[in-house]
Structure 1
Amino acid sequence: MPVIPAPPRAARTPALLGTQLLFNVGFFAVVPFLALVLTDDFGLTAAAIGLILGVRTFAQQGMFLVGGVLADRFGARRTILAGCAVRVLGFATLALSLLAPAPQLALFIGGTVLTGLGGALFSPGVNILVADAEQRRAPAGVRSRASLFAWLSVAGEFGAVLGPLLGAALLGWGFVVVALAGAALFVLIAVFLALALPRRTPAAAERGIHGRWWSLRDRRFVAFSALHAADLLAFNQLYLALPLQLARADAGPGVVAAMFAWVSALTLVLQLPVSRWCHRVGAARALRAGYGLSSAGFVVVAASVVVPLDASGRVVAVFVAAGLVVIGHLTTNPTAQGLVPRFAEMLPTGSFFGLLSTCGGVAVLLGNVAVGALLGWTTVPAAAWLLLAVPLVVAAVWAPPVAASAGRASGDENEAGGC
């Protein structure tokens, strides 16, 4: 009679949340200053900088599917630690490119790509462990509660706030010090995780499941991932289209910084209450509301460029839009991640988490090119904003029915469980 292996021990939730916080501290201490280095040390144009940073983003988001498949095959713990090692190598390469007698652009670009690949390895592994911990939680009963994915978002946002402060404090000693400090932090993170994570974590090979690319075989999930990509494209406009709109309103860097502070404040204050609301109303309604709110944000900006407004009115419109987009993202993103185990059912979840992020990465890469071109189109000044709103409307109509079908094959009819 074959011996059935014992289920892997669950990772402790505080360790996972602390890991997400430290990941974002290390990431945001370094990456926001890449554009500054490319300008000051390498003298590149804005277009060249945008291309390099776009490649970095795609190396992370676009490769999530590969990272998820590797996590399914070798286990979440191994891929998380491998991702930390790759990111350490990436940050060290960034520093090395500036320590040479003359700055080495090729080496710097290689370092930026490695930082993205590191995230593509460890982020799906973290999602797998969070989903595993979520499924092992005691039932909430009649009390609504925030999902662990919502807590993960809050922990990550704290890291996103603290990271740039750390990087800015170190930048006075030069970017080399910033990059090496980021590398040292990820070394410490890797040591911590090597001790904190259980040695046996979910892996397809350990569970006797053979095969690859499970998510690509599920047409429902492929459709859902393609529709949900509109959310990441919308959220990415906090860093592209909305700051450009503020610049057109003659708003200075202080106003842009205030917008990001507004976004962080909304995330920290509203993520957990929004997640509890999602748990009460169910996945389908939460998705419909979230996509609708984000779409409304872009409609607000579209109206502001058509209706004659003064500079202050256009700034207010951008802040309103940013708020709606963020609240929409707080609603849809944890909900979509919480649905992944229901789509996967008894299959490994790594490739499913990977596909969800990879579709978003492709949408950002292609969508930003289109949005950037349309922002300069004076014939229809609202075209870029309507282009961003339309995919969200489509997602609001089509994604909820697909989400409601998740888990039906195994008899799971509890729609609220996906939040």
Structure 2
Amino acid sequence: MTHSLRRWLVLAEIVHLPAVPRLLVLTQLAFNIGFYLVLPFLAGHLADDLGLAAATVGLVLGLRTFSQQGLFLLGGTLADRFGIRPVVLAGCAVRVAGFLVLAFAHSLPGVLAGAVLTGVAAALFSPAVESALAREGTRLEKSGRLPRTELFAMFAVAGEVGAVTGPLLGVLLLTVGFPATSVAAAVVFAAILAMHWRWLPAGPGAHAGEPVLDGLREVFGNRRFLAFAAAGSANLFAYNQLYLALPLELARVGEDGALGWLFAVASIMVIGAQMPIARFARDSLGPRHALTIGFLVIAGAFALVAVLVPLTSTVLPAVTLVVLLTAGQMLVSPVVGDVTARLAGERRLGAHYGVASAAGGIAVLAGGTGTGALIDLAPASSPLPWAALAAVPLLSAAALWLITPATAVREHAPSARKVTP
């Protein structure tokens, strides 16, 4: 197989990665298979099998998300202090427990416990894995083997493959029952735990022995990074509209059944085009232009829907939203992962990725509430909610143009010179 052909075949590229980066990328694939085995079907199980009211189902799902996003900083800080391996292993163990609880819970307290455990698990392992990926990407980039942005792009593609595969397997397992599906997901995470126990190198945390409060002061004293995290949080906010605004738009035109194939379109785009788009962003645009253009494309997706909604009762606005939003995020996501580490000065990566993820969670929580209220108040074919949605990534594009380094030169965190021996 020629080198040029391998550049277009992501699986071949992953196979040729060194052992630890390959493990981390495949981890994202397995994480999403296990996660999407269960979560798309959880609401139906709670409502149909357990007979819980819609408000209670919303409470369970909301607590799961809150327990995840709200604790990302804790997980990242623990990874910085105690090392990647123990935090990832602990997160996998907690998620195994969470899925087993969900499998056999028949009352609200048990369901709440299982949902919260699955969220806490992600808060532990996600920042740890991202920080490890950033460090491995730095090694690959310095050795001339692979730019770090491309490693983040592979990570995104692997996650998308998992997000497509998980629900397909979940549908098959649901013929046996939801408990069997949850047990299968627990088995997947037990396998992930075993793989990381065997192959993820052990080692002290990058900031073992340093006071935790000093680390928090370093992260929250990094004003440029905090501004970047706040502006970049619009990415997750925009993505969340695939679960909030998109289904409502499809319901408006009587095409609820189109949701599945629109998600399939988004997945095919990511799997097929993420790597070449990431290379184009790195080689032809640079981080500042890639982020600015990416957020402008996302803003354009919402703006075009605002124009189209009053004019048509077809799926055209929904298709426009999915295609442009996915295209914009393929430009943005790998660059965000890389620039986060650069603005962190390559220090306390777990805590920095934790803060960035928490910022996205806050944006989704606040923005989702506001968007829902605006959609409720506006007429069905009003462009107003979509125009408001367009304003958020548009403001982020302007902010990121000012915040993001024009080149790939690494930044230095405010207290990066205070390195404890």
**Shared fold, TM over 0.5:** yes
Quote the Cα distance in structure 1 between the aligned partners of 2:147 and 2:255.
41
1:85 and 1:188 mapped to 2: Cα distance?
10
Residues 1:282 and 2:286 are matched in the alignment: yes
Q: Distance in 2 between matches of 1:78 and 1:143?
A: 27
2:230 paired with 1:223: no
- Structure 1 pair 143–130 and aligned structure 2 pair: CA distance change class (3 A): closer
Distance in structure 1 (CA, Å) of the matches to 2:256 and 2:330: 28
5 Å-filtered alignment, 1:266-415, equals 266-280=269-283, 281-306=285-310, 308-309=311-312, 311-312=313-314, 315-378=315-378, 381-404=382-405, 407-409=410-412
Q: CA deviation at 1:206?
A: 6.3
Identify if the C-alpha distance between structure 1 residues 18 and 143 changes in structure 2 by more than 3 Å, giving closer, same or farther. Answer: closer
Task: Identify the range of structure 1 (44-53 vs 283-292) with the bigger mean alpha-carbon deviation.
Answer: 44-53
Distance 1:222 1:399 in 2: 12
* Structure 1 residue 270, shift from structure 2 partner: 1.3
> In the alignment, which residue of structure 2 is the partner of 1:5?
none
Residue 172 in 1 paired to residue 180 in 2? Answer: no
Find the partner of 1:192 among 187, 192, 195: 195
- 1:248 matched to 2:252: yes
Contact 1:11 1:129 in 2 (8 A): no
Partner of 1:417: none
Equivalence for 2:159: 156
Q: What is the CA RMSD across the aligned residues, in angstroms?
A: 2.2
Asked whether the equivalents of residues 137 and 146 of structure 2 are also in contact (C-alpha less than 8 Å), the reply is: no
Unaligned 5+ runs, structure 2: 1-17, 414-421
In 1, distance between residues paired with 2:24 and 2:148? Answer: 18
Q: Which moved more, 1:59-68 or 1:378-387?
A: 378-387
Closer, same or farther: CA 343–143 of 1 in aligned 2, 3 Å = closer
Task: Give 2:290's aligned amino acid.
Answer: A
The structural deviation recorded for 1:303 is 1.4
Quick one: distance in 2 between partners of 1:144 and 1:337?
Answer: 12
Q: 1:207 to 1:125 in 2, by over 3 A?
A: same
CA distance in 1, matches of 2:140, 2:231: 29
Contact 1:54–1:365 (CA under 8 A) maintained in structure 2: no
Aligned partners of 2:391, 2:174: CA distance in 1, in Å? 41
Quickly say closer, same or farther: Cα 1:319–1:340, change in 2 above 3 A.
Answer: same
> Contact 1:298/1:389 (CA < 8 Å) preserved in 2?
yes
SS at match of 1:345: coil
Residue 145 of structure 1 contacts residue 276 of structure 1 at CA under 8 Å; is this kept in 2? no
**Alignment: residue pair count:** 391
CA distance in 1, matches of 2:104, 2:293: 47
**1:46 Cα deviation after fit:** 3.4
Once structures 1 and 2 are overlaid, which stretch shifts more, 79-88 or 196-205?
196-205
Q: What is the identity, as a one-letter code, of the residue corresponding to 1:404? A: P
Partner letter of residue 318 of structure 1? A
Q: Which residue of 1 aligns with 2:418?
A: none
Aligned mate of 1:27, from 6, 30, 35: 35
Q: Partner amino acid for 1:234?
A: A
- CA 1:15/1:145 → structure 2, altered by over 3 Å: closer, same or farther? closer
**Secondary structure at the counterpart of residue 29 of structure 1:** helix
Stretch deviating more after TM superposition (10-19 or 352-361): 10-19
More displaced stretch, 320-329 vs 351-360: 320-329
Cα separation, 2, equivalents of 1:409 and 1:186: 36
Tell whether the 8 Å contact from 1:11 to 1:133 is kept in structure 2 after alignment: no
Cα distance in 2, alignment partners of residues 143 and 84 from structure 1: 28
2:139 alignment counterpart:
136
- Asked whether the equivalents of residues 59 and 116 of structure 1 are also in contact (C-alpha less than 8 Å), the reply is yes
Report the residue type matching 1:241 in the other structure. Answer: A
- Find the counterpart in structure 1 of residue 44 from structure 2: 36
- Aligned partner of 1:398: which letter? A
Deviates more, 1:137-146 or 1:116-125: 137-146
Q: What 5-or-longer segments of structure 1 have no aligned partner? A: 1-9, 98-102, 411-419
1:332-382 alpha-carbon deviations (Å, 9 max, x no partner):
121111012211215221111011110000111111111111112235922
Identity of aligned residues (%): 39
Q: Distance in 1 between matches of 2:340 and 2:146?
A: 22
2-side partners of 1:80 and 1:57: how far apart? 19
Contact 1:58 1:362 in 2 (8 A): no
Quote the residue 1:96 is aligned against. 104
Shift, 1:181, TM fit: 1.0
Q: Distance in 1 between matches of 2:144 and 2:84?
A: 30
